[in-house]
Amino acid sequence: MRELANTAVIRAPEVAGMFYPDGHNALADTVERCLAAARPDGGVKPKVLVAPHAGYRFSGEIAGTAYAGLRGRGEEITRIVLLGPAHRVAFQGIATTSADAWATPLGTVPVDWEALRAVLHLPGVTVQDAAFAREHSLEVHAPFIQRAFARAAIVPLLVGDAPATLVSQVVEALWGGPETLIVVSSDLSHFHDYDTARKLDAATAANIELLRPDRIDGKGACGHRALAGVLDQARRRDLRATALDVRNSGDTASGKDRVVGYGAFGLEYAESARIGEADRRQLVEAARFGVTFGLKHGRAPGVGIGAGLSPALSAQRAAFVTLMLDGQLRGCIGSVIAHRPLIVDVADNAFKAAFADPRFARLTAEEAERMEVSVSVLSTPRPMSFSDEADLARQTRPDIDGLILSDRVNGRDHRGLFLPSVWSVIPKAEDFVRRLKNKAGLDMAHWSDSLTIQRYTTESFGGSFREIAA
């Protein structure tokens, strides 16, 4: 950590002794206990965190889950952009402080003024020290940052009445590379009874995983304005969000009549994200279960979500299930847009691939014994911009991109989808695009100004039904 000049302006802690202990040893011990109590994150490698900001007694363990998995990157991450809501002072836009560092009982955290200068020229971003008086939403994160990151400086930004476009613009300017972590400070629902809060927070968690800030308001998350801009950038940059821990004060402290909800979320680049081996095996087993249940009962299974399910399996994800028999396609059905937990999507789509793919007869028990299954987990589709077909082909990345084509011709909607696995049989981008048009029911030479293309990536894995059953 860099040395501070003797003339540096230090922001004194405002909520020590209230939201967290005001003694060095007590605070260090408390933060370490919160980090040690972290729930398994499944190996998520976040570029963005969402973490709560209540007193440590209430939300410390959930914040610990957010930060614990990043301790192994403590030397790599040197800049942490902190965005959170203003609780005490109403103002327009986004505010930062004039301080060169923030103090806690653990020491000081430097402020990255080089980064701040990159956004202070933007209309609506100003220095407003008064907005930080008695404000806790960013300060409560500082001790976690001090314990988890050896050399990190912070970029503290309070989000007032600011449009999502401004927040997104600021986040874009500060995005950086692997040295930069974005942290959104937000609690979830406030002051409902326990059961109502669980339902509301589950809906908010799902919308964060779906990258749908338009469905989240101040009733669902007090940091919704910061979330809106960050989730906009997450969608543009193809990030995948996972709820790591969602609880409320009824779980962590006494009383369930009026609770506050808390959530820890990790957002990572979808293209490099990897589901852990144990969870992959469970998903392939879920696909096998969807098929064997269908063979026995003639209908799709009703898969429930247990309390102990891992974050990766319960996350809102879209998946395709491909069935292969003797090296030949035997069925392929999937979801384009995430709308339910991944393990449910896989089990249901496996059933449909086996028994409802219109290209094939219903799967038999004898075929099922020899079946190979592949599960492809989709990222959130993103629209592409292109001038013509040649430009589209140039932008399309072989072996990486899946494409979704849509067009309306003579009053009829046309739609086609290729998974990235199709590159193995159509290796040239020009042919990939033309064959996709053909799959959508269009002539391969077709082109129109109304034609749209969305790009996505997949994480794919699989196995044989015989090996799974063994």
- pLDDT of 3 > 60? The answer is no
Question: Based on the domain organization, do 453 and 412 belong to the same domain?
Answer: yes
Q: What percent of the chain has pLDDT over 90?
A: 93
- pLDDT of 1 > 60? The answer is no
Tell me the backbone φ, ψ of residue 95, rounded to 5 degrees: -120, 150
Query: How many Å is the maximal CA-CA distance in the chain?
Result: 79
- pLDDT of 376 > 80? The answer is yes
Would 3 be classed as within a structural domain? Answer: no
Would 167 be classed as within a structural domain? Answer: yes
Mean pLDDT, residues 320-348 taken together: 96
CATH number reported for the structural domain that contains residue 303 in this entry: 3.30.700.20
Q: Name the nearest CA neighbour of 466 among 201, 284, 297, 269.
A: 284
Would 4 be classed as within a structural domain? Answer: no
Question: Based on the domain organization, do 300 and 391 belong to the same domain?
Answer: no
- Alpha helix (H) residue ranges in 210-243: 224-236
Cβ-count burial of 297 within 10 angstroms (0-12 exposed, 13-18 middle, 19+ buried)?
Answer: exposed
The domain total for the chain is 3
Of 269, 304, 333, the one marking the end of a domain is: 269
Cβ-count burial of 68 within 10 angstroms (0-12 exposed, 13-18 middle, 19+ buried)?
Answer: buried
Question: Based on the domain organization, do 236 and 158 belong to the same domain?
Answer: yes
Which residue range(s) make up the domain with 256? Answer: 10-269
Q: How far apart are CA 153 and CA 46, in angstroms?
A: 18
Question: Based on the domain organization, do 291 and 413 belong to the same domain?
Answer: no
93: left (phi over 0), alpha (psi -120 to 50) or beta: left
Q: What percent of the chain has pLDDT over 70?
A: 97
Q: Which residues contact 4 (CB under 8 A, 6 or more apart)?
A: 10, 100, 101, 108, 110
94 with 70: CB under 8 angstroms? no
Question: Based on the domain organization, do 240 and 281 belong to the same domain?
Answer: no
CATH number reported for the structural domain that contains residue 399 in this entry: 3.30.1490.150
Question: Based on the domain organization, do 153 and 186 belong to the same domain?
Answer: yes
124 with 166: CB under 8 angstroms? yes
pLDDT band at 469; cut points 50, 70, 90: low
Instruction: Give pLDDT, residue 363.
Output: 96
pLDDT band at 6; cut points 50, 70, 90: low
Mean pLDDT, residues 279-306 taken together: 91
pLDDT digits (tens, 9 = 90+) for 224-253: 999 999 999 999 999 999 999 999 999 999
- pLDDT of 115 > 90? The answer is yes
Q: Do you know the residue count of the chain?
A: 470
Would 2 be classed as within a structural domain? Answer: no
Q: Name the nearest CA neighbour of 82 among 174, 4, 150, 17.
A: 174
Cα 124–chain centre separation: 27
Residue 197 one-letter amino acid: A
Mean pLDDT, residues 320-347 taken together: 96
Question: Based on the domain organization, do 231 and 114 belong to the same domain?
Answer: yes
Cα 388–chain centre separation: 32
Q: What six digits make up the tokens of 327?
A: 């090296």
Question: Based on the domain organization, do 390 and 321 belong to the same domain?
Answer: no
294 with 300: CB under 8 angstroms? yes
Question: Based on the domain organization, do 306 and 195 belong to the same domain?
Answer: no
Residue 271 one-letter amino acid: E
Would 198 be classed as within a structural domain? Answer: yes
DSSP 3-state percent helix, strand, coil across the chain (nearest 5): 35, 25, 40
Would 36 be classed as within a structural domain? Answer: yes
Would 256 be classed as within a structural domain? Answer: yes
Beta strands in 73-116 (DSSP E): 79-85, 94-96, 101-104, 107-110
Mean pLDDT, residues 204-208 taken together: 98
Would 32 be classed as within a structural domain? Answer: yes
Instruction: Give pLDDT, residue 150.
Output: 85
Of 212, 241, 269, the one marking the end of a domain is: 269
Question: Based on the domain organization, do 41 and 100 belong to the same domain?
Answer: yes
Cα 183–chain centre separation: 12
Instruction: Give pLDDT, residue 4.
Output: 60
| 173, containing H or E segment | helix 164-174
Question: Based on the domain organization, do 21 and 34 belong to the same domain?
Answer: yes
Question: Based on the domain organization, do 358 and 390 belong to the same domain?
Answer: no
Distances (CA, A) of 353 to 70, 278, 300, 335: 39, 24, 11, 12
Q: How far apart are CA 450 and CA 463, in angstroms?
A: 40
Mode of pairing for the β-strands spanning 452-456 and 382-383: antiparallel
CATH number reported for the structural domain that contains residue 202 in this entry: 3.40.830.10
Q: How far apart are CA 170 and CA 310, in angstroms?
A: 33
Of 269, 286, 303, the one marking the end of a domain is: 269
- pLDDT of 176 > 80? The answer is yes
